[in-house]
Amino acid sequence: WNLKSIVAGFSTSNLDEAQISPENVIPGFDMGINTPSPIDHTEKNRQQMLHELGLNPNLLAYLKQVHGNHVIEATNPGLLGEADGLITTQSNLALGILVADCAAVLIADQDQKVIGAFHAGWRGAVGGILNNGIKQMKNLGGKEFSAWISPCIGLTAFEVGDEVAAQFPAKFVHTQGFSKPHIDLKSFVIENLQNLGLKRDRIFADERCTFENTEFYSYRRQGKQSGRMLAVISMIP
């Protein structure tokens, strides 16, 4: 997307497959807070990313994400508690979401100066994280939103059990050619945003699959040794 007053970015693993990593440090550009990498290592990576985006490395607000639908209004940086969405009207404050197969959704109304960042894994997506986020952004004055959806696990790789498939509308559940149900998470998120009033031409989705592309971390591909990518959004004055 191209919003003049908005700065946004998404990290990759930046991983050289031949790279040898120190013990207990996940190779690459791990941003996580609950990965085997030491906290000071991932904090340095997060600060480096913000610096490269031209943002203040000390003004990142982020969360202990719990696959829910709770949204916090951020007024200060740091770890702001357990939730899966952040919104703010404050310029220069960066909002961060960590993912490794789930979708990160960044939303902005640059005219009304309100932004949001949301963690939309399958639980949060069907549980209404975006519904709650848009509602709270409207409460802060938001009207005309644009959204960006990060790379996430794609249809071909996202095999689920019947109990998960049952929580999605049938058109997002694919069984033909598969032995078990597969979910089209990104298409579900796009339609969710449209149902919340966003115009399709204001929704920008990166179609790359995190499972299939080694430039991204993937929990399903790498398990507990998976790092995390960081999605960031901030407003400049």
pLDDT of residue 27: 77
pLDDT of residue 216: 95
> Is residue 198 situated within a structural domain?
no
Residue with tokens 């939303």: 107
> Is residue 98 situated within a structural domain?
yes
**Whose CA is closest to 108, among 92, 126, 93, 89?**
89
Residue with tokens 């220069």: 92
- Which spans in 61-121 are helix H? none
- Kindly report the number of other CB atoms within 10 A of residue 138's CB atom: 16
Residue with tokens 């990060």: 150
Under DSSP, is residue 196 helix (H, G, I), strand (E, B) or coil? coil
Give the H or E element holding residue 229: strand 229-235
Percentage, residues of the chain above pLDDT 90:
86
Range of the domain at 223: 6-152+207-235
> Is residue 179 situated within a structural domain?
no
Residue predicted with more confidence, 120 or 15: 120
In angstroms, rounded to a whole number, what is the distance separating the alpha carbons of residues 102 and 89? 25
Q: Answer whether 0.85 is exceeded by the pTM.
A: yes
- The CATH number for 211's domain is 3.60.140.10
> Is residue 137 situated within a structural domain?
yes
> Is residue 174 situated within a structural domain?
no
pLDDT class of 18 with cuts at 50, 70, 90: very low
pLDDT of residue 8: 97
- Which spans in 58-212 are helix H? 122-127, 129-139, 162-165, 185-195
CA triplet 83, 155, 218: central angle to 5 degrees?
Answer: 55
> Is residue 51 situated within a structural domain?
yes
In angstroms, rounded to a whole number, what is the distance separating the alpha carbons of residues 43 and 79? 11
pLDDT class of 21 with cuts at 50, 70, 90: low
Tokens, residue 157 = 């790789």
In angstroms, rounded to a whole number, what is the distance separating the alpha carbons of residues 156 and 147? 24
Mean pLDDT of the region 28-46:
91
> Is residue 197 situated within a structural domain?
no
pLDDT at 15 over 60: no
Tokens, residue 227 = 């790092």
pLDDT of residue 23: 58
In angstroms, rounded to a whole number, what is the distance separating the alpha carbons of residues 169 and 152? 19
> Is residue 194 situated within a structural domain?
no
Domain count, the chain: 1
